[in-house]
Structure 1
Amino acid sequence: MVMRVGGLASGMDIEAMVDKLMKAERIPLNKLEQDRTKLEWKRDAFREINSKLTELDDLMFEMRKSVAYNAKNVSSTKEGAVTATANADVANGTYQIRVNQLASTAINVSTNTVKSDVQLVEGDEIAFNTINEKGEEVPHTYTIQKGDTLTDVLKKISRDDNNVRMFYDEQTEKVIMETTRTGNYRDGAEIQFDNNSFLANVLHMDMDKESGGTNAKFEYNNSGLIMESKTNSYKINGMTLEFKQETEGKNVSLTVTNDVDASYERIMEFVDKYNEVVEALNKSQLEERHRDYPPLTAEQKKDMSENEIELWEKRAKSGLLRGDTTISNGLFNLRSSWYEKVDTGGEYTTLTQVGIETSKDYLDGGKLIVNEKELKTALRENPADVQNLFTNSDEGNSRGLIQRLEDSLETTKEQISEKAGSILTPSLESYTLGKRMKDVDDRMESLEDRIAQAEARYWNQFTAMEKAISRMNQQSAQLMSQFGGGM
């Protein structure tokens, strides 16, 4: 530990002098800190680009699905009774549905009134059986606790996983107990209990009075075959039917057509995300680089306002990725993915045939421009060939546009990851910029040791000077004392 003497003998401000000397010593360290900050900024800028590429990649997964190009719309002549949705592979046309019966829940109601403040006996058990999917009885037992009210008990039963809910109706002063699922799971009552049970004696329920549950019953396309469903929903031939009301012996017509608007919106969602990525890549190459605006040190920030710091760092971060070959090559490869023909054997072999082209303005970086009328016409008249143009999975000249784009995208993402890693990257040494940051860290650590040694040396030198001056002052005082004494 260095003993510091602060200028008592010399009268000089030693601490201020050492501080100035140390500022000069720290100049190389400040430069390294700025280099470290710039590397972090560059890494983060690369990762932000990769994040956008990943978002596009995720959307491209959706673009490989048939529904993106061949979405279906199903209209009903009586939406209050029957509606439906259809998969992309459902053939266009009209389908007839006749609903003879809706699925309903099993329900039981008190035969006599029940007072809401009915006195419950601690320790009494409420027992009943329900029926599972296999038609087997499942027992349920609930014990009345001290202080429980009727409302407490009904809530406890309803919240349990037992396919049953119970509640008290104040208008009729009766308890209602029903299944939470529709459908008929057995002949006879689905909620079973003894005639001498809590449900019978206290809540005045009669198992023989239960009504429901019933299955939905419907006829498909006048086939004469009555189909059943335990719910008011049924999947058939790629369609999901939803029953809302019996049709009173009449058919409801469901008409399946291509949902051009839905397909168009899906494609436009992809186009917008692609253009957003292109803009980010292109902007990184066009940003002006301000070499006179290095990252601020902590000392510099002390004398600046938040607004000044923000404006400075905006310029300092500008153009960090400018001229980077990974970005520029990635942008070129993305654009190139759209240009070549796709040998699908179908009507459409190029992007322009379906109303999509790349921007002619070179400053746009190759953004996609969509002619809404032409794209919708293609989706309406030949959605299958539009899909093949984008998603054909063959290799070579037959490879679809989305597949080609994904190949380019993956290459760029991998190259960026090699340079900048990701938030999941375990160590600095596993990516290029991280290695450079680690090297700067090691150099900073070594330089900090040398700076500490320099500071100690300065203090030792000034301390030695102070001691020498102090001794000289003492000797001078002694001499003066002797001369004074002899006169």
Structure 2
Amino acid sequence: MSDMRIGGLASGIDTDSIIRDLMEAERMPLNKMEQEKTKLEWQRDEYRDVNKTFLELDNLALDMKLDRTYQSKEASSSNSAVSAKASSSAGEGRYSLEVTQLASAAYNYSEGSITGGNDEFDPDASLDSQRGFFANGLDESDFEIKTYGKDGEKSHVFSIDSSDSLNDVLKEINDSQIGVRAFYDKNADKVMIERDETGNYNSVGKEIDFGGGPNFLTSTLGLSGEEKGGRDAKFTYNDSGFEITSHDNNYSVNGVDFTLHEVGKSTVNVTNNVDGAVEKITDFVNKYNDIIESLGDKLNERKNRDYPPLTEQQKEAMEEDEIEKWEEQARKGLLQGDSVLSGSLAQMRTSWYSKVESGGEFNILSQIGIETSSNYRDRGKLEIDEEKLRNALSEDASSVKSLFANDGEGEEKGIVRRLEDIIGSTRTSIERKAGKETSTNQSFSLGRELVNVDQRMLSFESKLTQIEDRYWSEFGAMEKAIQEMNSQSAYIQQNFSAGMM
């Protein structure tokens, strides 16, 4: 608890106000340090925002190096019999498929009603309690199910516990991971078991094998009839008479994934998806133009020296909207003339204009419809002639990709790879100056300046405490002297008055 200071009792002087005014003057250097700290923090944040923008461009650059950006394919089908999806490696052209058979999953169901249609049968009650309802009796012998699929042969042996219900037994079958689903339909009064994958994997027998002798499945549930389904898909390819079989209704040829939906003939056309390529290139150029404009504004924005950063004390005397408007002016010009950023912009512009000796048909951007704006106020922004770009992509998408993404050295390096190098170097320089969110202040230059300002502020605050103590001591001494003079004056006055009597 600090000592209460009361001055002016002897002199009548407002000591507190005088010392407060004196300390206001003494605090001026500290206020400037606080403003300096605020400005450094603003600068740090501005640099980090610039780095985030560069990172966005760098992320878009990843797409600009992929084949699928320039050579993505589009597949269209003549009817609903077949649908298709083309990868970037798909060969352009016409594909003809005639589907003669669709793949199907094997299934089997009870030959007849397992209870004779008795409505009182409860599939959730114990088998023992429902024993009298089964038309063929309750066979409690163990049974085995074998299945055949892409993972080979699987089997599982099941035991009948009469305390279990029919649905318990079917659930155990479903949970056995042998690739089948089983369920009881009360309306039909039958049980169905089906494979969870299509195709014929057992060429010499059934896809779902219930074993040779009578058991719960074949006797009680009547699953002894002929198996249905379990067929492979069949289709002829490109009118060649060459028949292809597939265990499922999906098949890939030459980078095209076909999905068979129904029996019939269908024609699939695969073409280069120019729209997708134009969109990706346009997005990248637009992001670059945004950076050019944003950084250009920051580099050319003049400082407003009439609006220094506000101190906390000054903010206390202002309204929120006043603070906002003031700081809008005070933040201007934080990156004015920055050499790292201006150098980066110059290098990026050069990268766009330079030739790329990749061996492709195109070696400069203007050949594919991308040129610099003729308006000097655009500061080197790029403009796209979409028709020319589309023609270039249709004519030779591979050469367009090489112009942007060729992996080489010197003049052989594609534009995007050159930009990546510049972005990487710039982001590293910015991080050395402004760090990133996870950086400690000692690891970057602006952070070290902030540490220095904090130390100076702490030292100066200690000095202010000493100055304030000195002022109170001096005014206290003055008050004491005045009090003594007042006491002496009163004493003399008292003696003088006594001598006159």
TM-score by length of 1: 0.82
- Rate the CA distance shift 1:358–1:2 in 2: closer, same or farther, 3 A: same
| Alpha-carbon distance between aligned partners in 2 of 1:482 and 1:158, rounded to the nearest angstrom | 120
Residue 152 of structure 2 aligns with an amino acid whose one-letter code is G
| Alpha-carbon distance between aligned partners in 2 of 1:200 and 1:307, rounded to the nearest angstrom | 84
Q: After the TM superposition, which residues 214-253 of structure 1 pair with which residues of structure 2 at under 5 Å, given as runs?
A: 214-222=231-239, 224-247=241-264, 250=265, 252-253=266-267
Shift of 1:315: 1.4
Matched, 1:55 2:73: no
Does structure 1 conserve the Cα–Cα contact (< 8 Å) formed by 2:103 and 2:231? Answer: yes
**2:27 is paired with a residue of what secondary structure?**
helix
- Rate the CA distance shift 1:176–1:58 in 2: closer, same or farther, 3 A: farther
Residue 82 of structure 1 aligns with an amino acid whose one-letter code is V
Shift of 1:192: 7.0
| Alpha-carbon distance between aligned partners in 1 of 2:285 and 2:261, rounded to the nearest angstrom | 38
What per-residue deviation string (whole Å, max 9, x for no partner) do you get for residues 11-64 of structure 1?
Answer: 444443333333222221121111111111111111111111111111111111
Residue 442 of structure 1 aligns with an amino acid whose one-letter code is Q
Residue 375 of structure 1 aligns with an amino acid whose one-letter code is L
Match of 1:418 in 2: 432
Does structure 2 conserve the Cα–Cα contact (< 8 Å) formed by 1:22 and 1:455? Answer: yes
- Rate the CA distance shift 1:290–1:485 in 2: closer, same or farther, 3 A: same
| Alpha-carbon distance between aligned partners in 1 of 2:481 and 2:120, rounded to the nearest angstrom | 104
Match of 2:303 in 1: 289
**1:382 is paired with a residue of what secondary structure?**
helix
Match of 2:390 among 353, 362, 376: 376
Shift of 1:161: 8.4
Match of 1:432 in 2: 445
Matched, 1:32 2:30: no
Does structure 2 conserve the Cα–Cα contact (< 8 Å) formed by 1:116 and 1:150? Answer: no
Range moving further from structure 2, 227-236 or 322-331: 227-236
Match of 1:319 in 2: 333
Q: After the TM superposition, which residues 129-140 of structure 1 pair with which residues of structure 2 at under 5 Å, given as runs?
A: 134-137=151-154
Shift of 1:376: 0.8
Does structure 1 conserve the Cα–Cα contact (< 8 Å) formed by 2:181 and 2:194? Answer: yes
**1:241 is paired with a residue of what secondary structure?**
strand
Shift of 1:99: 2.7
**1:429 is paired with a residue of what secondary structure?**
helix
Does structure 2 conserve the Cα–Cα contact (< 8 Å) formed by 1:344 and 1:392? Answer: yes
Q: After the TM superposition, which residues 35-434 of structure 1 pair with which residues of structure 2 at under 5 Å, given as runs?
A: 35-78=36-79, 80-105=80-105, 119-120=124-125, 134-137=151-154, 181-183=197-199, 188=206, 190=208, 206=223, 211-212=228-229, 214-222=231-239, 224-247=241-264, 250=265, 252-425=266-439, 427-434=440-447
| Alpha-carbon distance between aligned partners in 1 of 2:466 and 2:120, rounded to the nearest angstrom | 89
Does structure 2 conserve the Cα–Cα contact (< 8 Å) formed by 1:6 and 1:13? Answer: no
Contiguous gaps of at least 5 residues in structure 1: none
Shift of 1:321: 0.7
- Rate the CA distance shift 1:397–1:24 in 2: closer, same or farther, 3 A: same
Residue 288 of structure 2 aligns with an amino acid whose one-letter code is Y
| Alpha-carbon distance between aligned partners in 1 of 2:360 and 2:339, rounded to the nearest angstrom | 37
- Rate the CA distance shift 1:291–1:385 in 2: closer, same or farther, 3 A: same
- Rate the CA distance shift 1:485–1:100 in 2: closer, same or farther, 3 A: farther
- Rate the CA distance shift 1:353–1:39 in 2: closer, same or farther, 3 A: same
TM-score by length of 2: 0.80
Does structure 2 conserve the Cα–Cα contact (< 8 Å) formed by 1:108 and 1:205? Answer: no
Match of 2:463 in 1: 450
What per-residue deviation string (whole Å, max 9, x for no partner) do you get for residues 247-289 of structure 1?
Answer: 2xx3x22222222222211211111111112112212122232
| Alpha-carbon distance between aligned partners in 2 of 1:449 and 1:191, rounded to the nearest angstrom | 91
| Alpha-carbon distance between aligned partners in 1 of 2:45 and 2:418, rounded to the nearest angstrom | 27
| Alpha-carbon distance between aligned partners in 2 of 1:435 and 1:209, rounded to the nearest angstrom | 83
Q: Aligned residues, how many?
A: 478
Shift of 1:91: 2.4
Q: Whose Rg is larger? A: 2
Shift of 1:332: 0.8
**1:69 is paired with a residue of what secondary structure?**
helix
- Rate the CA distance shift 1:189–1:384 in 2: closer, same or farther, 3 A: closer
Residue 357 of structure 1 aligns with an amino acid whose one-letter code is E
Q: How high is the sequence identity, in percent, across the aligned residues?
A: 42
Shift of 1:134: 2.4
Shift of 1:334: 0.7
**2:352 is paired with a residue of what secondary structure?**
coil
| Alpha-carbon distance between aligned partners in 1 of 2:146 and 2:493, rounded to the nearest angstrom | 116
**2:371 is paired with a residue of what secondary structure?**
strand
What per-residue deviation string (whole Å, max 9, x for no partner) do you get for residues 112-135 of structure 1?
Answer: 57889755469x9xx988878523
Shift of 1:337: 0.6
- Alpha-carbon RMSD: 4.3
Residue 429 of structure 2 aligns with an amino acid whose one-letter code is Q
| Alpha-carbon distance between aligned partners in 2 of 1:157 and 1:305, rounded to the nearest angstrom | 73
What per-residue deviation string (whole Å, max 9, x for no partner) do you get for residues 284-337 of structure 1?
Answer: 122232111111111222222222222211111122111001111111111101
Does structure 1 conserve the Cα–Cα contact (< 8 Å) formed by 2:126 and 2:166? Answer: no
Does structure 2 conserve the Cα–Cα contact (< 8 Å) formed by 1:4 and 1:463? Answer: no
**2:62 is paired with a residue of what secondary structure?**
helix
